[in-house]
Amino acid sequence: MQKGNVDFVEEVRTKPGERSRKIKLLLKGMLTNTTVINILLVSGVNIFVKGSGFLKESLVAHTFGLSALLDTFYIAVLIPSFINNVFVDSLSNIFIPNYIAELASSKQKGIFQSVSFIIVTCIAIVFCIICILSTDTFLPYLYPGHAASYYNLILVQFYWILPALFFWGYSSLLSSLLIVGGKFLYTTIYPILTTFSVVACIIFFNDQLGVSVLAIGMLMGSFLEFLFLLLSAIYFKEIQFKYPRLNSNLRLMIRQLPAKASSGFLIGMNSFVDQFFAAQLLVGSITAINYGVKIPSFVAGVLVMALGNVLLPRFAKEVNNNLLKAYDDLFKILKITFFATVLLSAVVFLFSDQIIFYCFQRGKFLHSDTMIVSNVQKIFLLYVPFYICSIVLVKFLTSINKNHLMAWVSLLSLLLNFGLDFLLIKPFNLYGLAISTSAVYFVNCLILFCCVVYQRKKCSI
C-alpha cells in the first residue's frame, strides 16, 4: 500500500475518535461553564415555578371561566403592574450595572442601596396617591360602555392590589442584590409564593372574600415574596444601609432612569391599548387574550428569567473589561436563542388545542372557550423567538447605558401597535389584537438588532 493511502486510512480511523474527544471536551466545557450552569439552574427552577402558576390558572379557569369578574380583575391589576413595570422595574434594571460599577470602584454599597430604596418608596407613594385620586374618574373613558357595577368591581379589586406596589418595588431591588451576589435560585423561586397565596384564598376563603378573593390573594403573595427576599438578603449579607448621599455612580443611574422609565412606559402602554380594544368586544374577550398568552408567556418567561437574570450582570462585567468581546458573545447568544425558541414554539403550536384542553377546559371553561383561546395562543406563539431576542438585546443595551435608544424604539412600537389594533380588530376581532402584538414584537426585535449592530460599528471605528 502506498504511503499516501496509509495516511488516508489512518486519518479515517482516527476521525471518529477525534470527533468523540471534541464532543466530550465541548460537554465538559459547558458543564463547567458558570454561565451555562446558572442558566440551566434558573431554567429548571423557573419551569417548576411557572408550572405551579399553570395549576393556579387552571383553578381560576375552573372557578370563574371567561367571566366579568376575571375581566375586571385583569383591568384592576393592570394599573399597579403598569406602574411597577414602568418605574420600579426600570430602576431595578439600571440598578444592576451601576451597582456592579459601584462595587468595582468606591465600594460604597450601603449608600447605593439606601438611595435606591428611598427612590422606590417615593415612587410607590406618589403613584398610590395619584391612582387613588384619579382611577375612578378615568376608568369610564378607558373602558367605555359598561354598567356602573362593572367599574365598581374594578375599583374594589384595585384598592386591594394597590399596596402591593410597595412590596413589588422592594422585592425587585432585593432580587437585584441577590442576582449580583450570584444567588439565582432565590431570585427565581420566590414568585411561587403568590401562586400559593392565590390558590389558598380560592380554596379556603372564596365564599368569605367574595369578589376580592383574587386581589387579596395577590396582595398577600406580594408581601410573602418581599419577606422571603428580605430574609434571604439578610442571611447572605447582601443588604446594607448607610446614610444616603449621591455619588458619581448614583448620579449616572438617576440620569438613566428617565430614559429607561420612558421606554417602560411606552412598552406598558401596549397592554392598555390591547385591553382598550378588547374591552369593546364581547364580555370575556380580555380574559381570552390573557389565557391565550399564558403558554407563550410561560415559554418566554422561563427563558427571559434564565437569560435576563444571568446575562445582565455578565454583560455589565464584560462591558467594563472587554467591550468588543461582549458584542461577540451577544451575537453568539442571539443565534442560539433564536433557533432554540423557533423549535420550541413550533412544538407548542402543533399541540396548542391539546394544551389548552388539558390546562383549562373544566367547570365553567367550555370547549368553545378552548378553541378561541387556542387560536389566540397560536398567533401569540409567533412572537416568542423575537420577544426573547429582544429581551437579550435590551439587557445588553442596558449594560452599556444606551437606554435612550430603547425609549425611541418603544415609542415606534406603541404607535405601530395602536395602528395595527385599529386596522385589524374590525376584520379579525379578537385575533386581530394577537396578530398586531406578534407583528409589533417582530419589528421591535429588528430595530433593536439594528441599533446594536450600529453601536458595534461605532466601537470598531
Confidence check: pLDDT of 110 > 80: yes
pLDDT for the residue 218: 93
C-alpha cell at 90: 426600570
pLDDT score of 136: 83
Q: What is the pLDDT of residue 258?
A: 80
Mean pLDDT calculated for residue range 286-291:
76
Look at residue 330 and tell me whether its pLDDT is greater than 60: yes
pLDDT of residue 171: 94
Grid coordinates representing 292?
A: 391565550
Of residues 74 and 193, more confidence is placed in 193
User: Which residues does 196 contact at the CB level (< 8 Å), separation at least 6?
Assistant: 52, 221, 224
Query: Cell numbers at residue 410, please?
Result: 418603544
pLDDT higher for 15 or 144?
A: 144
Query: Which of 42-46, 87-91, 298-302, 375-379 is modeled with the greatest confidence?
Result: 375-379
Most confident of 59-73, 299-313, 351-365, 443-457: 443-457
CA distance 125 to 365: 39
Q: List pLDDT tens digits, range 234-282.
A: 999 888 888 888 887 788 888 877 877 777 777 777 776 877 787 777 6
Per-residue pLDDT, 311: 64
Burial annotation 299-310 (CB, 10 A radius, 16+ → b, else e): bbbbbbbbbbbb
Find the range with the poorest average confidence among 203-212, 216-225, 258-267, 364-373.
Answer: 258-267
Average pLDDT over every residue of 289-302: 77
pLDDT (0 to 100) of residue 29: 54
**Mean pLDDT throughout 314-320?**
69
| Residue 8 pLDDT level (bands cut at 50, 70, 90) | very low
- H or E stretch including 291? helix 285-292
**What pLDDT score was predicted for residue 447?**
92
Q: Quote the pLDDT of residue 429.
A: 81
User: What mean pLDDT comes out for the span 115-133?
Assistant: 91
Determine contact, residues 416/356, Cβ cutoff 8 Å.
Answer: no
Q: How confident is the model at residue 310 (pLDDT cuts 50, 70, 90)?
A: low
- pLDDT band of residue 5 (cuts 50, 70, 90) is very low
Q: Residue 150 pLDDT more than 70?
A: yes
What integer pLDDT is reported at residue 442 of this predicted model? 93
Mean pLDDT estimate for the chain: 81
Task: List the single range of 9-18, 105-114, 419-428, 452-461 with lowest mean pLDDT.
Answer: 9-18
The pLDDT of residue 283: 62
Q: Using the structure block, give the residue that is written with the C-alpha cell 389548552.
A: 356
> In whole angstroms, how far apart are CA 53 and each of 50, 185, 237, 442?
5, 17, 30, 27
Which of the residue ranges 77-91, 148-162, 334-348 would you say has the lowest mean pLDDT? 77-91
Per residue in 341-372, pLDDT tens?
899 899 989 998 888 888 777 776 778 888 88
Q: How many CB atoms lie within 10 A of CB 354?
A: 11
Q: Is the pTM of this model over 0.85?
A: no
**Per-residue confidence band for 32, with pLDDT thresholds at 50, 70 and 90:** low
Q: What is the pLDDT of residue 2?
A: 45
In this prediction, residue 24 carries a pLDDT of 57
pLDDT top residue among 51 and 437: 437
Q: Is the pLDDT of residue 375 over 60?
A: yes
Domain locations along the chain: 38-460
pLDDT tens for 169-187 read 999 999 989 988 878 788 8
3-state DSSP of 394-458? HHHHHHCCCHHHHHHHHHHHHHHHHHHHHHHHHHHCHHHHHHHHHHHHHHHHHHHHHHHHHHHHH
- pLDDT tier for residue 9 given thresholds of 50, 70 and 90: very low
